[in-house]
């Protein structure tokens, strides 16, 4: 039996082009750094795990702010809810947390995603977590009213409302409103809670979050 070959000119152009491997996820260095730290000093399971974007990554005082809790910070700056799902098998599930604190979604809106898309991404993350961790308690920290993103305030309120509704549909989910207490007396975002870029929290901002979350933990942490 003779094998016949098509001449290269007869093949589709796409088959002749070099195969390009997927580009490395731009957040990979941050995630790899966490994995290296975990390998050098493996955290015990059962911690209260904080996950999400730069508001979590910048919360470097978790141990001091919540002295009665065994916390683990796995925030990675610039991340979206989809990124939290993408890296869940590396940043969340291996740690078998007793409680998950999530802040994400603000970068999603800034990237042009709709509030409906943000809520849908949250649901996809929940399905994955429930599949691997069961009904592990999770609290979603509401999107904060960053002055630098004042043009997204309406979208943030919409996304918060949608996610709060999702959280009420499952007993192990919670929604913590941090949006309202971060408004000034004029009903506008309070600039005194942010650093110069008016996007990231300053110490006063984290103090407010600590007070609200401490009260939440006192009532809801098993």
**Other CB atoms closer than 10 Å to residue 215's CB: what's the count?**
11
Of residues 41 and 155, the one with the higher pLDDT is: 155
Average pLDDT over residues 64-85: 94
Q: What is the structure's pLDDT at 9?
A: 46
Task: Round the CA-based radius of gyration of the chain to a whole number and report it.
Answer: 21
DSSP 109-176: HHTT--HHHHHHHHHHHHHHHHHHH-S--EEEEPPP--GGGGGGHHHHHHHHHHHHHHHHTSTTEEEE
Q: What is the structure's pLDDT at 40?
A: 92
pLDDT category of residue 208 using cuts at 50, 70 and 90 = very high
Average pLDDT over residues 77-104: 95
Using one digit for the tens of pLDDT, what is the confidence trace for 5-64? Answer: 344 444 444 444 444 344 578 788 888 998 999 989 999 999 999 999 999 999 999 999
Average pLDDT over residues 99-116: 97
Task: Parse the chain into domains and list their residue ranges.
Answer: 44-220
Q: What is the structure's pLDDT at 152?
A: 96
* Mean per-residue pLDDT over the chain, rounded: 90
Using one digit for the tens of pLDDT, what is the confidence trace for 130-144? Answer: 999 999 999 999 999
Predicted TM-score (pTM) of the model is 0.87
Average pLDDT over residues 102-127: 97
Angle formed at CA 101 by CA 171 and CA 216, multiple of 5 degrees: 65
Spatial strand order in the sheet of 71-75: 71-75, 48-52, 99-103, 138-141, 173-176
Q: What are phi and psi of 141, to 5 degrees?
A: -80, 125
Percentage of residues in the chain having pLDDT higher than 90: 79
Q: What is the structure's pLDDT at 84?
A: 95
15 vs 8: CA distance, rounded Å: 10
CATH of the domain spanning 44-220:
3.40.50.1110
72 vs 181: CA distance, rounded Å: 25
């Amino acid at each position: 039996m003779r094998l016949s070959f098509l001449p290269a000119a007869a093949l589709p152009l796409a088959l002749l082009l070099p195969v390009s491997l997927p580009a490395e996820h731009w957040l990979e260095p941050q995630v790899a750094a966490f994995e290296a730290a975990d390998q050098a000093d493996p955290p015990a399971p059962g911690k209260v795990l904080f996950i999400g974007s730069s508001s979590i990554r910048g919360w470097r005082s978790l141990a001091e702010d919540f002295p009665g809790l065994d916390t683990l910070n796995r925030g990675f700056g610039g991340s979206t809810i989809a990124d939290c799902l993408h890296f869940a098998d590396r940043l969340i599930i291996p740690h078998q947390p007793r409680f998950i604190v999530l802040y994400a979604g603000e970068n999603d809106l800034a990237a042009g995603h709709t509030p409906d898309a943000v809520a849908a991404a949250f649901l996809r993350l929940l399905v994955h977590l429930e599949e691997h961790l069961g009904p592990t308690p999770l609290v979603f920290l509401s999107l904060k009213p960053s002055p630098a993103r004042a043009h997204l305030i309406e979208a943030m309120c919409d996304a918060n409302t949608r996610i709060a509704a999702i959280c009420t549909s499952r007993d192990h989910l919670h929604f913590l409103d941090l949006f309202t207490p971060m408004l000034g007396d004029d009903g506008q975002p309070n600039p005194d809670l942010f650093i110069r870029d008016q996007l990231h929290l300053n110490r006063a901002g984290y103090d407010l979050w600590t007070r609200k979350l401490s009260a939440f933990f006192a009532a809801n942490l098993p």
